[in-house]
């Protein structure tokens, strides 16, 4: 068994059987993720086990984004120009309900952070943004160092890369 991250491929990955317990997140993977990927709206990354590569264990979707400077905490704003802050948004994160609690959510989050750090070699990215669906999800992100934005408690950011 080896866990692998790859970009969603509708011909190889079984989207129909994915269930995480939140209908909106299941529905996104089944009906919209492929189209969003083709349209350049969001790219979905899936976590799979190479022993059973059709089965999606979890996914996250990423898009380019920006955040108003005033959304950052004062200490995170130091030395930044008075422009919108370049960002990557993790619009969705979900783990299959039979696989939750095994660290896969943490792995997907780490993958998104690694991608954001690697993008910094080609273009500026200062923060990874997430939109938590509720307070529990916000607490999950805070556990990994995400900070609440000033105006939307359920939008959180994580500074990425060296400052």
Ligand X SMILES: CC(C)(COP(=O)(O)OP(=O)(O)OC[C@H]1O[C@@H](n2cnc3c(N)ncnc32)[C@H](O)[C@@H]1OP(=O)(O)O)[C@@H](O)C(=O)NCCC(=O)NCCS
Rounded least distance, CB 21 to ligand X, Å: 5
Instruction: State the minimum distance, in angstroms, from the CB of residue 161 to ligand X.
Output: 23
Whole-angstrom distance, CA of residue 26 vs CA of residue 23: 5
User: Nearer Cβ to ligand X, position 95 or 112?
Assistant: 95
Binding site for ligand X (CB under 6 A): 20-22, 25, 93-95, 100-106, 132-133, 136-137, 139-140, 143
36 vs 120 by CB, closer to ligand X: 36
Contacts of 18 (CB under 8 A, 6+ apart): 26, 29, 30, 56, 59, 94, 96
Q: How far is the CB of 117 from ligand X (least distance, A)?
A: 19
- Which CB, 67 or 95, lies closer to ligand X? 95
Catalytic (active-site) positions: 141
């Amino acid at each position: 068994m080896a866990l692998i991250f790859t970009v969603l491929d509708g011909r190889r990955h079984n989207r129909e059987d994915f269930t995480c317990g939140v209908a909106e997140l299941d529905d996104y993977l089944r009906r919209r993720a492929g189209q969003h990927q083709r349209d350049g709206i969001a790219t979905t990354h899936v976590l799979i086990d190479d022993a059973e590569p059709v089965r999606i264990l979890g996914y996250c979707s990423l898009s380019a984004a920006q955040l108003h400077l005033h959304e950052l905490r004062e200490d995170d704003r130091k030395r930044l120009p008075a422009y919108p802050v370049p960002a990557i948004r993790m619009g969705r994160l979900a783990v299959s309900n039979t696989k939750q609690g095994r660290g896969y959510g943490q792995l997907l989050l780490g993958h998104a952070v690694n991608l954001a750090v690697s993008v910094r070699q080609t273009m500026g990215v200062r923060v990874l943004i997430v939109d938590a669906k509720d307070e529990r999800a916000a607490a999950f992100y805070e556990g990994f160092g995400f900070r609440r934005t000033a105006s939307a408690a359920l939008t959180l950011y994580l500074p990425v890369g060296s400052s």
